[in-house]
A = this chain, B = another copy of it.
Amino acid sequence: MYIGVDLGGTNIVVGLVDEQCNVISTKSRETNSCRGKDPIIKDIIEMIVEIKSESIEDIKAIGVGIPGFADKAGNVKAIINLKWKNVNLSEILEGKFKIPVAIDNDATVAGVAEFEAGAMRGYDNGVLLTLGTGIGAGIIINGQVFNGSHAIGSEIGHMVIGENFYTCNCGRNGCFETFASSTGIIKYAEKLLKEGENSEVINNYIKGDYSKLNAKIIIDAAKKGDSLGLKVFNRAIKYLTIGILNIMNIIDPEVIAFGGGVSNAGEFLLEALRIEVEKTRYNKDFPVPEFKIAHFKNDAGIIGAAMIGKHKIN
């Protein structure tokens, strides 16, 4: 039995996970990120103690997924949104629980969940792209997590692929995630609406309140044939395809899985991507990766975290 911790910007979720990636039980508390690291770590420890007491089997290892960077030793190097820098979290948890603790980036951890028991199961080389507020990536190469020589790679969301009308959070222009994340989709729809383009379908939902715009409303409008919805969706597909072809040209994976809010578009998204990739790729007789929707939704974080704990002892 393993414990997986999903430290998010909004919630901390701790789960008991068995060898087969089944989630036995979970606990959740609000992160309340502004309160600083010590009370958050205290909460994590208390939740691990609680969930540990529910397990009739020994806990072999703990894994933690964080919305930031950890070094190879499992210490947190930086979580920008929580303002954490150089926090020896694995040392603290190992000292407390006397079992191995592994820490890695949340998208990497979600990639591990998909590789162990989800959409990338059975493949040796795969990339999970989480199309949410930003774009996260979990890369598996030869059956192993890949995140670079200092564990700061796999940041595919900040790969520059063109020029965009707004600047990325990272301060640069043209990052993949500014074109193809939920945020990128919403911002482009808002831009068109503010420039006077009309969409009855979308306006029925938002009634002039741009803060109500979300990727689902826009993609649903595209599904209904709404011209503004289609224009925004097609632009996202164009740039998603540029990013995917870059991934194919560099990493050449067997499978690419899509998670995050945008992936709820399901087959509508995959089919559009398959067509655009086929249309624009170079060597038409070379193999193309499988495109799949990620299997896990909210549980990816705790399952993947538990599995990086498991990998640490195996």
Contacts and interface: CB of A to CB of B under 8 A. Distances in A.
Interface of A: 69, 77-78, 124-125, 141, 146-156, 158-163, 170-172, 174, 242, 245-246, 248-254, 280, 282-283, 285-287
A282 B149 contact: no
Contacts of A254: 149-150
A242 B242 CA distance: 15
B282 A153 contact: no
B282 A170 contact: yes
Contacts of A253: 148-149
A282 B245 contact: no
Nearest to A148: B252
A252 B151 contact: yes
Contacts of A146: 141
For the complex of A and B, the 10 pairs showing the least CB-CB separation, nearest first, are A148-B252, A153-B252, A125-B149, A155-B249, A170-B282, A159-B246, A149-B254, A158-B249, A160-B242, A150-B287
B249 A156 contact: yes
B153 A124 contact: no
A179 to B, nearest CB: 12
Given A154-B252, A161-B162, 16 more contacts: A77-B286, A141-B141, A148-B250, A149-B254, A150-B254, A151-B252, A152-B248, A153-B248, A153-B249, A153-B250, A153-B252, A154-B250, A159-B159, A160-B242, A162-B163, A163-B163
